[in-house]
């Protein structure tokens, strides 16, 4: 029973964090109808940002959150205007986005290897708290609780933005039907740019906690994180950012249960869940199909 409690509580914490890992990818797809295959690389950049803040600036790695947001703005704006408008004018923007962002992912990987090498970089877990917090008799490192808390705040902030602000309403309109939003006078390019930058910022913020949840950060993690993120948003609902929370929790619980009882099979969890959900409920657990334009 204690093992089951450990797996469930740990799975919820893990799942909440991975909801943040995937939500930026889902936001970008929902608004832009493009798959950012460099999503995992932007997460890894956030992880290296936390490492730089700790290693060179001698600050708490949590300040990497600020660095990630600034980096998303600096990188996101020119990257959007350089590639996205051209892709959207093409006959098949989704397929071309696969190719372009795949190439971008390889470029970022190469840049990170040149800048940081191939070695894993770690940050001491005690920098986010040296103790353990218990719940129902089960204890987990402070860093896990901090990561889950930041994830909750970030996702709650995104939810409030989408449901309580004029820009959020416009974002949801573009997600629902881009052509109708444009016809109604919504500045679609502005909304797309904002969503792209927010999506990159959320990826970077999640990356700050990768050294704590995964033990270290290295350039080789990018593709795996993209795959996991894609599996999570498919499980929840593709094109519906808040649905990523459902996908993240299912992924987290499934992973921790497997690591507790069948650890040698735990790496198969995201792929097995993805296949099962696609076969049983292709539109995701929330049951809403991706809109047509």
Residue ranges of the domains in the chain?
Answer: 2-124+144-280
- Per-residue confidence at 287, pLDDT binned at 50, 70, 90? low
Residue whose structure tokens are 């894993």: 120
**Mean pLDDT, range 156-168, rounded to an integer:** 95
Query: 169-178, 179-188, 236-245 — which is least confidently predicted?
Result: 236-245
Q: What percent of the chain has pLDDT over 70?
A: 95
**Mean pLDDT, range 221-250, rounded to an integer:** 87
Q: Highest mean pLDDT range out of 121-130, 162-171, 260-269?
A: 162-171
**Mean pLDDT, range 24-43, rounded to an integer:** 93
Answer whether 11's CB lies under 8 Å from 257's CB: yes
Q: What percent of the chain has pLDDT over 90?
A: 57
Give yes or no for residue 41 having a pLDDT over 70.
yes
DSSP 217: B
DSSP letters along 153-192, please?
Answer: HHHHHHHHHHHHSHHHHHHHHHHH-HHHHHHTT--HHHHH
Q: Round to whole Å and give the CA distance between 110 and 9.
A: 37
Give yes or no for residue 288 having a pLDDT over 60.
no
Nearest to 247, CA basis, from 16, 8, 6: 16
Neighbours of 259 (CB within 10 A): 18
- Per-residue confidence at 283, pLDDT binned at 50, 70, 90? low
- Coil, helix or strand at residue 276: helix
CATH 1.10.3470 fits 2-124+144-280, yes or no: yes
Answer whether 211's CB lies under 8 Å from 217's CB: yes
At residue 293, the pLDDT reads: 41
At residue 159, the pLDDT reads: 94
**Mean pLDDT, range 113-127, rounded to an integer:** 91
Query: 46-60, 133-147, 161-175 — which is least confidently predicted?
Result: 133-147
**Mean pLDDT, range 41-56, rounded to an integer:** 95
Top-confidence residue, 2 or 226 = 226
Top-confidence residue, 205 or 261 = 205
Q: How many CA atoms lie within 13 A of 269 on its CB side?
A: 26
Top-confidence residue, 131 or 34 = 34
pTM, 2 dp = 0.91
Top-confidence residue, 70 or 125 = 70
Query: 67-76, 113-122, 188-197, 237-246 — which is least confidently predicted?
Result: 237-246
The tokens describing 153, both together, are 């705040």
DSSP 59: S
Answer whether 241's CB lies under 8 Å from 23's CB: yes
- Per-residue confidence at 291, pLDDT binned at 50, 70, 90? very low
At residue 292, the pLDDT reads: 45
- Per-residue confidence at 236, pLDDT binned at 50, 70, 90? confident
Q: How many CA atoms lie within 13 A of 14 on its CB side?
A: 21
Pairing of strands 138-141, 132-135: antiparallel
């Amino acid at each position: 029973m204690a093992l089951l409690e450990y797996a469930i509580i740990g799975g919820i914490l893990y799942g909440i964090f991975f909801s943040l890992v995937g939500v930026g990818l889902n936001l970008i797809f929902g608004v832009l109808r493009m798959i950012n295959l460099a999503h995992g690389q932007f997460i890894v950049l956030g992880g290296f940002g936390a490492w730089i803040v700790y290693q060179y600036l001698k600050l708490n790695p949590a300040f990497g959150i600020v660095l990630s947001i600034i980096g998303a703005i600096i990188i996101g704006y020119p990257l959007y205007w350089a590639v996205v408008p051209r892709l959207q004018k093409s006959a098949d923007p989704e397929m071309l986005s696969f190719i372009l962002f795949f190439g971008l992912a390889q470029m970022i990987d190469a840049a990170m290897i040149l800048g940081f090498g191939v070695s894993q970089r770690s940050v001491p877990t005690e920098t986010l708290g040296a103790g353990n917090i218990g719940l129902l008799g089960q204890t987990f490192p402070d860093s896990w609780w901090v990561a889950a808390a930041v994830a909750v705040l970030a996702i709650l902030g995104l939810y409030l933005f989408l449901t309580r602000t004029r820009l959020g309403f416009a974002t949801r309109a573009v997600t629902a039907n881009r052509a109708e939003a444009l016809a109604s006078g919504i500045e679609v390019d502005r909304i797309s740019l904002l969503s792209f930058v927010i999506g990159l910022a959320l990826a970077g913020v999640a990356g700050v906690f990768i050294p704590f949840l995964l033990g270290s950060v290295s350039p080789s993690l990018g593709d795996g994180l993209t795959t996991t993120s894609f599996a999570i948003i498919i499980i929840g609902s593709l094109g519906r950012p808040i649905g990523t929370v459902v996908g993240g929790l299912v992924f987290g619980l499934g992973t921790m249960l497997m690591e507790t009882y069948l650890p040698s099979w735990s790496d198969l969890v995201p792929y097995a869940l993805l296949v099962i959900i696609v076969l049983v409920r292709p539109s995701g657990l929330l049951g809403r199909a991706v809109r047509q334009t």
